[in-house]
Amino acid sequence: MNRTLLLGLDGVAFSMLDPAFEAGHMPNLKALLERGTSGVLTSTVPPYTPPGWTSIFTGVNPGKHGIFGFTLGNVQRNEGLVRLDRVQAPAIWNAANAQDARVGLFNIPMTFPPPVVDGWSVSGMLTPEGGGGTPQDYTYPESIAKRIADVVGSYEIDIEVNYDEDWKSTAITERLSRNLDLKRRALNALLESDGDVPLLFAVFEAPDRLMHVHYKYIDPRCEHFTRPEAGPIRERAWSFFDEMDAAMGDLIEWAGPDGHVLTMSDHGFGPKDKAVNVNRALHEWGLLGIAGAGSIGQSASLRKIARRVKKVAPKSLWKKAKGAAHSTINWSQTKAFSAPNPQQGIYVNLEEREPHGIVPPGDYDKVRDEIIERFGELVDPDDGRPVLDHIHKREDVIHGPLAESAPDLFPVCRDYSYELSDGLFSPSVLTDYRDLPRGFHHMDGIFGIAGPDARMQSGARASLYDIAPTALHLAGLKIPRMDGRVLGEFLTGDRPPVIEDMELPLAGEGAEAAPYSAEEEAQIEESLRNLGYL
């Protein structure tokens, strides 16, 4: 069986790659994409890490695997942080192992506890790291943690990010560089000791971290690209891209000339210009009530005080205060409310579904239509143009037995340059970030297929649901029923995909780790806040 590499690049888009390629950077990735098919990979709705990577490794949409954000539920139904053992669908590694194909899994987001596999796994984002030392229970089998420690010493899953400060310098890039060095040495050690796996899936999450704070310094279409401070930050980012490219080179070499490489990102990136404070908007439209003294927070004078407090209060305290503000919602007068930020949507306060639901099922569509109408009327006072591009109804983008747990509406504002926020006591419906170099997730990621069976083609398009079935097909394996399909039009030869019903365990079955402690949940939530996700 020829080797198949799934090369994951979190948050990568051609808008950031093309300028780097043109400046002579990332030769390994550029050559990889040019020796096969490459193009745009359409993300999930919304284009966010949790549903994105979970859909990539399961091949099904969030309505079947049940992951819509970093947390399960919403402000009324808080069901805790996502773990792999909450995923309600089989994964690509289950299908491979069922056919006696061993796998290596490295740093895939949303894979804690580490998958129990024939082969080995190292968990990724949302692994609790406690006080910053090597995490516990992050490998399967447990013994490979010692192998990693022997090579790198203290291992680190993710870096600390200060979303409010890191845009000012290259500090985040230096932290990412140190983290990448640990991961590169750890992965090479694992491949040296047990690299004889036909299927290897490894993810580099660093591009996402960098683009959240420096995107507009990277994309020449943005005004920030020509600012004096942009040059040094961009050059250091590009040199880091080269470090990452060298690590990719290790993996491409592992695949060899007879192997296949399937490259993908879970979402793309674009500029973050403004945020739409959804709860504030819903309150102004009479769809969300505020109880008692909470209504005072709408006064202009108190909002001015709040802005001054935000400038001097510890960021963690301010973020927690925002969460406390949601406790002032009067559910008996609320027809709709914002989803948590990473879900990028709106929930109807539906009877029998929400604990404090007041909207009868017969009025469900009426309330959604009112929200759609109100959003359509929302204009940005700075240019007088509509904020909304489109609103997806849940049933248009999410299907399956778990769809009912998803938000009911997904507004898309200004091609995702306007992020949705759950802000309630924000100074206005729109918050302006145009002066900052920040980026925000976009639907258009990237993909590439290289290897002996790949056609030479650029400008292709595919869905991230197609990654798992295509990878299994390239590895010569049968494919279970999935929402995605084999991208046969980008492959040579006439070997048809073999798709059949399989009795497979769920992605996290058998994975063991203690439930998150209160301290671990607090640490992970603080990390997500620092990234702007909570």
392-416 pLDDT, tens digit each? 999 999 999 999 999 999 999 999 9
Which of 394, 410, 435 is the C-terminal boundary of a domain?
Answer: 435
Q: In the beta sheet, which residues pair with residue 347?
A: 337
Among 159-168, 279-288, 304-313, name the one with the lowest average pLDDT.
304-313
- Shared domain check, 154 and 55: yes
| C-alpha–C-alpha distance, residues 526 and 533, integer Å | 10
| C-alpha–C-alpha distance, residues 216 and 222, integer Å | 5
Helix (H, G, I), strand (E, B) or coil at 18: helix
Which of 404, 435, 466 is the C-terminal boundary of a domain?
Answer: 435
- Shared domain check, 365 and 474: no
pLDDT digits (tens, 9 = 90+) for 45-72: 999 999 999 999 999 999 999 999 999 9
Which of 416, 435, 454 is the C-terminal boundary of a domain?
Answer: 435
Lookup: tokens for 33: 């994409």
- What CATH number is associated with residue 62? 3.40.720.10
| C-alpha–C-alpha distance, residues 60 and 68, integer Å | 13
- Shared domain check, 180 and 105: yes
Structurally, the chain folds into a number of domains equal to: 2
- Shared domain check, 448 and 498: yes
Q: Give residues with Cβ within 8 angstroms of 93, minimum separation 6.
A: 57, 103, 105, 115, 117, 119, 121, 199, 201, 507
Among 68-77, 151-160, 249-258, 288-297, name the one with the lowest average pLDDT.
288-297
CB atoms within 10 A of CB 154: 11
- Shared domain check, 238 and 282: no
DSSP 421-452: E--SS-SSSEEE-TTS--EEEESEEEEEEEST
- Shared domain check, 287 and 254: no
- Shared domain check, 339 and 431: yes
Q: Residue 15: pLDDT above 90?
A: yes
Q: Residue 520: pLDDT above 90?
A: no
- Shared domain check, 171 and 240: yes
- Shared domain check, 260 and 304: no
- Shared domain check, 466 and 372: no
Q: Residue 131: pLDDT above 70?
A: no
Q: Which domain holds residue 183?
A: 4-270+442-530
- Shared domain check, 255 and 297: no
The pLDDT assigned to 313 comes to: 46
- Shared domain check, 487 and 364: no
CB–CB of 269/13 below 8 Å? yes
